[in-house]
Amino acid sequence: MTIEVTDSEMSPRHGRVSAQTREPVRLSAATLAEIPSSVAVPGYDRATVRTGIVHLGVGGFHRAHQAMYLDALMNLGQAMTWGICGVGVLESDGTMAQVMREQDCLYTLLVRHPDGHVEPRVIGSILEYLFAPDDPMAVVERMADPNVRIVSLTVTEGGYNFNHVTGAFEVDDPEIVGDLADESCPRTIFGLVTAALAIRRDRGIEPFTVMSCDNIPGNGTIARTMFSTFARLRDPELGEFVASEVAFPNSMVDRITPATTDFDRAELSETFGVVDRWPVSCEPFSQWVLQDAFGHDRPPLQDVGVMTVEDVEPYELMKLRLLNCSHQALAYLGYLAGYRWVHDAAADPVFVDFLLQFMVHEATPTLPFVPGIDLDAYCHQLIERFANPGVHDKLSRLCEQTSDRIPNWLVPLVRDQLARGGEILRSATIVASWARYAEGVDEQREPITIVDRLAEQLTANARRYDSDPDAFVTDPSLFGDLSDDPRFMGAYRCALDSLHRNGARATLQALADR
């Protein structure tokens, strides 16, 4: 299901001038009426909107996805008590905090179509932004406000602090230890959210719903386990309260959203006449499947295309195993072969064939029935989305933080296929391409910067290939006992050897010729 909002639906004010007739306008609440007519602006009075959601982790995806859906509702005259208070949790969020202050939390969403057409739209659903490192208790008190009924999260796959193999909460993490030692100054999402829930319990205020929007199977279920475990470490009764009284709906979210570039800023200024320090670029497609399991009321998101269902898992597995795993397949193989942009790799027939064969023969057999979805059409639509040159997504972005991705997305798929006797050659090739990439040099002998929390460990294992070809995949912290399976290891060794001897594209061509 997709959502597309046209300029006419945004109710732009009559009489706004074109971008070509004046100097670019610096985006802020005071200048909205001056924004050129080619840019859609909020058709509602932001002064009448009240905060009902606190969102932790205001990155590009949240602003292209959840905040966009709320803005669309507000443009329909709905959800006026569901404005968003964004929260930056990391020190690195300081720049975002400054930009949000300067622009009154407004930003421009650039929807990029395959034909080059760009739809700019100013989003107004984020009303305020708090920077937790400066004043963590201000964030806690904001979440404790009775008007806040949802706390949502986009904190990446690595933000949930669990072991990828055992699923257990990692209690020895230094930041977790610090939050448990000093409850008066929480620094992690666990410390912040738990402190707010404790205050609400003590004040007799109904707990908010915690809504995870990250790419993890059973994201709400995992969030419940992680947050209640942290709360138990702080206070056993509080832990039981979090586990039994707080709602944690599961969700599936989807929209390709590359990192903002200077090109985005320049195009917005030069073509559309708006100066925005942190716009967001995204594809036209957007999907959100949400378990209708909230603690109390919620925005009427179904009115703007969100699927509200009892069971998210079929949709979640579909997206993780078809889209996310295919992104991983493109990422390392494409980069090794010399491609730097997703759309270029996705236009190569050899890569397209590999992706489709992986999706059809290895990913799809592991999926349950997905109500309302034609999986064959979905697979081909993914290829079209990857090949959208307007999105201009870097392969290097898809290669980041893989230690939080392949163990969560691809390894479970491999285990399912092994258990049913299904094909795993292409999955093993994807794992092998990660190992080859992690060596830190591509096929043209150009250096690769490995962006991963485990970069040093990954590169050390990958570079042991000559003396121990299995070193990378025998790391139990990432793969568990997968290396004990002879069928997987045979396919992995063959693929990694071919990547070293023949290169990525020739390896894929050989698979196609089998």
What pLDDT score was predicted for residue 15? 42
Per-residue pLDDT tens for 405-436? 999 999 999 999 999 999 999 999 999 999 99
CA atoms 487, 490, 495, 496: torsion sign: positive
Q: Cβ of 512: how many Cβ atoms within 10 Å?
A: 12
Per-residue pLDDT tens for 103-134? 999 999 999 999 999 999 999 999 999 999 99
Q: Strand 118-123 to strand 107-112: parallel, antiparallel, or no bridges (unpaired)? A: antiparallel
d(CA 34, CA 37): 9
Helix (H, G, I), strand (E, B) or coil at 206: coil
Q: Strand 83-88 to strand 251-254: parallel, antiparallel, or no bridges (unpaired)? A: unpaired
Helix (H, G, I), strand (E, B) or coil at 497: helix
| Segments in 39-173 forming alpha helices (H) | 60-64, 66-75, 94-102, 136-144
- Overall fold of domain 313-512: N-(1-d-carboxylethyl)-l-norvaline Dehydrogenase; domain 2 (1.10.1040)
What pLDDT score was predicted for residue 186? 96
Per-residue pLDDT tens for 340-363? 999 999 999 999 999 999 999 999
What pLDDT score was predicted for residue 3? 44
What pLDDT score was predicted for residue 165? 83
Superfamily covering domain 7-309:
NAD(P)-binding Rossmann-like Domain (3.40.50.720)
3-state secondary structure labels for all residues of 308-337: EECCCHHHHHHHHHHHHHHHHHHHHHHHHC
**Domain regions of the chain by residue span:** 7-309, 313-512
What pLDDT score was predicted for residue 20? 52
Residue 400: band (very low, low, confident or very high) from pLDDT cuts 50, 70, 90: very high
> Do the two domains 7-309 and 313-512 of this chain adopt the same fold?
no
Which two three-digit tokens encode residue 216?
A: 């993890």
Indicate whether 168 pLDDT > 90. yes
Q: Cβ of 369: how many Cβ atoms within 10 Å?
A: 7
On average, the pLDDT of the chain sits at 94
What is the percent of the chain where pLDDT is above 70?
96
The 3-state DSSP composition of the chain as helix, strand, coil percent (nearest 5) reads 50, 10, 40
pTM score of the predicted model: 0.92
CA atoms 457, 462, 467, 473: torsion sign: positive
DSSP state of 110: E
